[in-house]
A and B are shown apart, each in its own frame.
Chain A
Amino acid sequence: MMLARVADSLYWLGRYMERAEHLSRLSSVMLNATLDQTDAGAQAVWIALSAVGKTEIGAVAPFEAARSLVLDRSDHNSVVSSLARARENARQVRDQITTETWERLNLLYLKVTDEGAGREFADGSANFLHDVISDVHLFKGAADATMSHGESWRFMMVGMYLERAQLVSSLLEVCFAEGPGREINDHIALVSLLRMACALEPYLRVYTAEIEPRHILEFLVFDEDFPRSIRFVTSRIEEHLAVLARHTEANGRTGPERLAGRLKARLQFADLDELQAQGASALLTTVVNECSRIHEAIYETFVAYPLEMRLPA
């Protein structure tokens, strides 16, 4: 049992932290790829900016693009805005998260909002982003190691995995959707893509250094164990929602749990040939749409339910 408003804040805390991590990684990989003046660098920039829907800032230098992705407070989808919102949510549920978890987030927030942050980013963006990403990892680790794995933690996890499902799907859509987009075959660009999904090393262990678009797609969609594959992520969403649904008074299976179960099954029993026959974008679009529906169903079931249904007789 927990307050509906609190569940809402924890859910968004999870989402914003995941978003901050993903955006930092995209920026970092993008900047790294553009150090060499090659076509692969330009492709990496295009992938990163398309994945966050910011192709319009592609005209400026990659450094400026990354800087605004990370530090622009007026942009609601920057790293600093995500962290500020994560912290604002955490502050509202300060009684629900452990001090260890809060301190990690608070420190990170103070770091990115510090007056010197802009200069620090300019002096060494790679170091700066590396530190931000590892601070997000510390936050996640502290949450995992110190919070009870009960309702609060699960709402945070659901938020985190839903966000991840949508972010990874968008990234894959940019690279693998059919149509007028560019086909990405360049080895270095493909490595950048794997890095953006934080998947390079796990990929190499499965497929060795043969980097093939087909394998990347298979790995990031269907791998059972990789924590950023869509299959893995949807399976976690289903797992957490199933436990959360057990407590509700609503009879039978609840909306979000059912939706998540269906999505999980779909990914569990699909295979790559089928995916390629039908076109990757069909499946990826389904994932994005189903995630939005799960998000709405969570609200209807746990947060903004109609009072009439729940009042005592």
Chain B
Amino acid sequence: MDTGVAVRIKDIDDTPSLPMTGAAYLPGVAYDEMIAKGGDVRAHYAALQSRISTLGAGELADRQRMLERSFLLQGITFTVYGADSATERIIPTDLFPRILPAKEWAKIEAGLTQRLQALNMFLADIYGEQQILMDGVVPRELVLGAPSYRREMQNVYVPHKAYANVCGSDLIRGQDGEFAVLEDNLRVPSGVSYMLANRDASKRTFPGAYREAGVRPVERYPDLLLATLKSMSADWRSNPQVVVLTPGVYNSAYYEHAYLARLMGVPLVEGRDLVVHDNMVYMRTTTGLRRVDVIYRRVDDDFIDPLAFRRDSSLGAAGLFNAYRAGNVVMCNAPGTGVADDKAVYAFVPDIIRYYLGEDAILPNIETFLCREPAQLSHVLANLDKLVVKAVGASGGYGMLIGPHASAKERAEFADALKADPANYIAQPTIQLSTAPCLVDGRIEPRHVDLRPFILSGEKTVVTPGALTRVALKRGSLVVNSSQGGGSKDTWVLAEEAPSNGAGGLG
């Protein structure tokens, strides 16, 4: 008999209560994920919205607390070092899921697959024949002069030509409701553990609405990742040893590294656990040295091997890169993939897709001005108050000017920096990111969100039907990076048709 469980779920999800009073949800000018222009609730949000509207403010607060507690318990935290003690904080997490209907997802999935395919072909080309540079599709100095271009990778054999095995692209939805790609992350993208943890949490906070909606599962991510990593190893190694390489426990994404290693059932190693001998990589185990075949490395290019890259790095292993070149070990992602997510190369991605695949990009780019071009620079300087300007080499929301939100003084300073080193900057129009309902100080309010889906590429390319939705928690803010006070929420990708599994009545 399963009734005990059913009753419990009902208790959590269906306690009768007063609806939220005096808290009308009023989206602004941006596209809202839940409410359409006319004020009607979008069809795919109907179930959740009716669920929320029956909950009182107290109950919502209770659920939010329950959610935060579950993160704290699991240790999904980062440490804030204070004056005399260290306290642990959780990444802010919002309890309302963001919902995407099947049709929209189908387009995203096709677009991301196409994009990553083209980018992998681009990487194989520039680290090989460099045909695309000879044909003048992408300026030669833009690629070869980028700091993320690794000359050491020239003519290295990469199985299946899959350079970027794990990719997390940032998508945003503009005022017209269409998704566009803001950024490709091909180096060591993180956040997938939050996608999985958020899902775990939202199944507990809204079990009824979850069941009714027919949400596609994301839980297979770890085994798909393992299959992708194994597909990268040499054929003659019958049972390849996969490891996750982490910079260590003080890294802010350490939780994720341990989480993925645990769910894949593979060792979580640090640089000091690895030994390279005769171009073979071994790990130090209790029973001696053991050969390593595939390294899912969560350490940046610069730090993986003090002999090949930064000499002062102690996070990698000496000789690792030579072992890689010799084909005795595979690193995922390959070193040097960063050149394809460079902010200046980004502007050429639609051309890259057309060049290799002969297709138009399914997901458009954001219009981008390259300040290296004198004509575009003068346009940018004349319109600084309307544009977002980004430093090419920076990430995480640093080195960025949001024109409309900046003061005249900040704009003047940025203009000087632009003129001093134009090649280091790009500019894009300020996009009103779409908004989604969030619980802020006990009220449901619209907040700007983006979308980071995760794409795996080895022998085949797979897009996990889910994503991390990042939230700018400050009212009106457009910056969603967690280093800049952003939070996250679960993302429900709906199946084609909601299943009628007869579980109705539990709400």
Given A4-B273, A5-B270, A95-B267, A151–B286 Cβ distance below 8 Å?
A: yes
Say whether A38 faces chain B, with CB atoms less than 8 Å apart: no
Say whether B182 faces chain A, with CB atoms less than 8 Å apart: no
Please report which residues of chain A, range 1-26, place their CB below 8 angstroms from some CB of chain B when the two chains form the complex: 1-7
Q: Which of A64-72, A102-110, A175-183, A194-202 contacts B (4 or more CB under 8 A)?
A: A102-110
Contacts of B284 in A (CB 8 A): 3-5, 307
Given A94-B258, A94-B262, A248–B75 Cβ distance below 8 Å?
A: no
Contacts of A312 in B (CB 8 A): 277-278, 280, 289
Please report which residues of chain B, range 473-494, place their CB below 8 angstroms from some CB of chain A when the two chains form the complex: none
Say whether B269 faces chain A, with CB atoms less than 8 Å apart: yes
Say whether A88 faces chain B, with CB atoms less than 8 Å apart: yes
Range, interface on chain A: 35 or more
Q: How far is the CB of B299 from chain A (nearest CB, A)?
A: 16
Contacts of B278 in A (CB 8 A): 312
How far, in whole Å, are A310 and B290 apart by their CA atoms in the complex? 10
Q: Is the interface of B mostly helix, strand, loop or mixed?
A: mixed
Say whether B287 faces chain A, with CB atoms less than 8 Å apart: yes
Given A91-B75, A102-B75, A110-B72, A2–B267 Cβ distance below 8 Å?
A: yes
Say whether B498 faces chain A, with CB atoms less than 8 Å apart: no
Q: How far is the CB of A159 from chain B (nearest CB, A)?
A: 14
Q: How far is the CB of A251 from chain B (nearest CB, A)?
A: 12
How far, in whole Å, are A247 and B273 apart by their CA atoms in the complex? 19
Q: Is the interface of A mostly helix, strand, loop or mixed?
A: helix
How far, in whole Å, are A91 and B289 apart by their CA atoms in the complex? 24
**Contact at A2–B258, with CB atoms within 8 Å?**
no
Q: How far is the CB of B378 from chain A (nearest CB, A)?
A: 53
Give A276-313 as 1s and 0s: 1 = Cβ < 8 Å from B's Cβ atoms: 00000000000000000000000000110101001110
**Contact at B258–A3, with CB atoms within 8 Å?**
no
**Contact at B288–A248, with CB atoms within 8 Å?**
yes
Contacts of A88 in B (CB 8 A): 249
How far, in whole Å, are A103 and B69 apart by their CA atoms in the complex? 12
Say whether A99 faces chain B, with CB atoms less than 8 Å apart: yes
How far, in whole Å, are A94 and B273 apart by their CA atoms in the complex? 16
Question: Who on chain B is nearest to A113 by CB?
Answer: B85
Contacts of B74 in A (CB 8 A): 99, 103, 106
Say whether A160 faces chain B, with CB atoms less than 8 Å apart: no
Question: Who on chain A is nearest to B88 by CB?
Answer: A110
Contacts of A113 in B (CB 8 A): 85
- Scoring B258, B280, B287 by chain A CB atoms within 10 A of each residue's CB, the highest score goes to B287
Contacts of B249 in A (CB 8 A): 88, 91-92
Say whether A79 faces chain B, with CB atoms less than 8 Å apart: no
How far, in whole Å, are A134 and B288 apart by their CA atoms in the complex? 38
Say whether B73 faces chain A, with CB atoms less than 8 Å apart: yes
Question: Who on chain A is nearest to B277 by CB?
Answer: A311
How far, in whole Å, are A96 and B283 apart by their CA atoms in the complex? 16
Question: Who on chain A is nearest to B291 by CB?
Answer: A312
**Contact at A1–B286, with CB atoms within 8 Å?**
yes
How far, in whole Å, are A305 and B267 apart by their CA atoms in the complex? 20
Q: How far is the CB of B419 from chain A (nearest CB, A)?
A: 48
Given A91-B249, A94-B262, A244-B286, A3–B267 Cβ distance below 8 Å?
A: yes
Say whether B238 faces chain A, with CB atoms less than 8 Å apart: no
How far, in whole Å, are A217 and B126 apart by their CA atoms in the complex? 77
Report the 5 A-B pairs with minimum CB-CB distance, sorted nearest first: A95-B262, A94-B258, A95-B261, A302-B286, A249-B288
- 16 A-B pairs, CB-CB below 8 angstroms? A3-B269, A91-B249, A92-B249, A94-B75, A94-B255, A94-B259, A94-B262, A94-B268, A95-B258, A96-B262, A102-B75, A103-B73, A113-B85, A302-B286, A303-B286, A311-B277
**Residues of B near any A CB (own CB < 8 A):** 72-75, 85, 88, 249, 254-255, 258-259, 261-262, 267-270, 272-273, 275, 277-278, 280, 283-290
User: Knowing that A3-B269, A95-B267, A102-B75 are A-B contacts, what are 11 other residue pairs whose CB atoms are under 8 Å apart, sorted by A's residue number?
Assistant: A1-B290, A2-B267, A4-B285, A93-B268, A94-B259, A95-B259, A96-B262, A106-B74, A155-B286, A247-B286, A248-B286
